[in-house]
Amino acid sequence: MGDFNKKKAAIISASSLLLVAMVVAVTVSVTHHYSADDDNKDAGHTISQSQKAIEAICQPTQFKKNCVDSLSSAAGNTTDPKELVKIAFKVAVQKITDAINKSATLHEIEKDPRNKEALETCKEVMDYAIDDLNHSFDKMSEFDVSKVDEMLADLKTWLSGAVTYQETCLDAFQNTTGNAGENMRKALNSSAELTRNSLAIVSEISTVLTSLQIPLFSRRLLSDESALPYPTEDGFPTWVAAGKRRLLSSSAADIKPNAVVAKDGSGQFTTINAALRTYPKTKNNATFIVYIKEGTYNEHILINKSMPNVMLIGDGPTKTKITGNKNFVDGVGTFKTATVAAVGPGFIAKDIGFENSAGAIKHQAVALRVQSDMSIFYNCQMDGYQDTLYAHTHRQFYRDCTISGTIDFIFGDAASVFQNCKIIIRKPLDNQQCIVTAQGRKDLRQNTAIVLQGCTISADPLYYPVRDTIKSYLGRPWKEYSRTIIMQTSIDDCIAEEGWLPWMGDFGLNTLFYAEFQNVGPGALNTRRVRWPGIKTNTLSEKTFLDFTPGKFLGGEGGDSWITKSGVPYTPGMLASPPPAH
């Protein structure tokens, strides 16, 4: 066994070298001559080895000229593909930084309040984009073939987030006036292209790696969690570390919280924000648990990016409720309307209600916005009308939750799975129609989607009588590559037989990815569904849908340990049976 282990270690080491060697070989052997706007008119000119490497790295990108030009000016003479990828990340960061500076300049001269708020949103989300690119840079610095699956899963998650954040900046200018939005679009054009190029490059590396058929090719599972940009302990993220691995299966009485909030004064604090202000300023790997006793808390909460591993636990989703009423009609941009925003990684919520009480007449009004990577929501309730739940970015898992609303009430561009959740359609305004999902995938290579598995989709009692005149749909394409999968779900007769709704004209109908699988109930009949090119119903095998189950979709091979060790009820693959039809 000793000789075998030595031999195995040697092969693994050789595999790591082979990764670089193969990609270098690809780069050196490339004979394609990049010609767009090329100043070199000498047909006999020999491209430098560095230039060949750059051109090979840029081959899968959509914006090749920007890729080649930016790397050529920043890479020097390096031919190391790993270094070139890192440089691509850094160049994108610099371009985003330039755009942030531009937004600050525009903010100083802008007079319109909506435009000023949009510019503030831009600065915030572009800062998040830089964080995701920096995480990617750090992970690329320690790239290891032996843990390729989890590393690529993380890289794709963060680069997908960086793409989405820049798109969110531009979305903030919808329904505004003046030139600020167009000026911001121009400022972001180069960085958006470079970020999407980075995602394409990483995706191509994935293709190269999966084509390697190396004997004894070793891959550590994601249960090692070494790929995460936040602290780990004993092989698991700290929020499920030793002694705290069953948090979600425990009651509030069994958990020793760091802070207790109670409206009646029986806790340490009477507001949630006051409790969160006691989050340790020094580095602390432990889960920070806030127990919120029964009551209605009229507050706006931000779990910011410097607050990882926060857990909010209440007395029940209808007993402990956090409510607010910020909305678009009253002058607040959609992004800023959230009653609660979870940004710091590893966020957990259990037995809590999140509400935006603005009402249908106030249009966009978010109850909960989630950017927290590897976040979990268990037995929670999200209530609103338009845009109730903003599943914005990164990996998110929802179990046994209730989400209610009217228009696009589950929307965003996260890799999000909703398992055994109740989706309730509320009555909208008379001139409106209801849409359950609006997924916002901007780029084909983003690893994002909204997945409903084992859920129930039904009508609120006030909506049910008017369901035939005010129709409801499963989703519509917010962005060009919108992707939504609904499987093993009970769909009531509140969903129109067409199933899906266009966004505007034929936008996204050829490029979206919408699929239904093993659904039951009168609303699940798909014989009269729309027949857009992007509709995949009845054309895919069960194996394809397995890729969207949480065990595979939320992190890659072994990448669901952050869920399995938390104690939340969980099925990693297909359910034994869908919920019964209503």
Active site residues: 408
Instruction: Return the bridge partners of 66, or none.
Output: none
Q: 515-527: string of b/e by CB count within 10 Å (b at 16+)? A: bbbbbbbebbebe
DSSP of 313-364: E-S-TTTEEEEE---TTTT--GGGG-SEEE-STT-EEES-EEEE-S-GGG-B
User: How far is the C-alpha of 519 from the C-alpha of 528, rounded, in Å?
Assistant: 15
CA dihedral 420, 439, 97, 300 (to 10 degrees): -50
User: How far is the C-alpha of 347 from the C-alpha of 355, rounded, in Å?
Assistant: 18
Q: Is the alpha carbon torsion for 253, 258, 263, 266 positive or negative? A: positive
Please tell me the number of Cα atoms within 13 Å of 472 on its side-chain side: 32
CA dihedral 426, 429, 431, 437 (to 10 degrees): -40
Task: Give the residue ranges of DSSP H helices in 110-211.
Answer: 113-141, 148-171, 180-210
What is the DSSP code (8-state) at residue 387? T
User: Three-class SS of residue 209?
Assistant: helix
User: How far is the C-alpha of 449 from the C-alpha of 426, rounded, in Å?
Assistant: 23
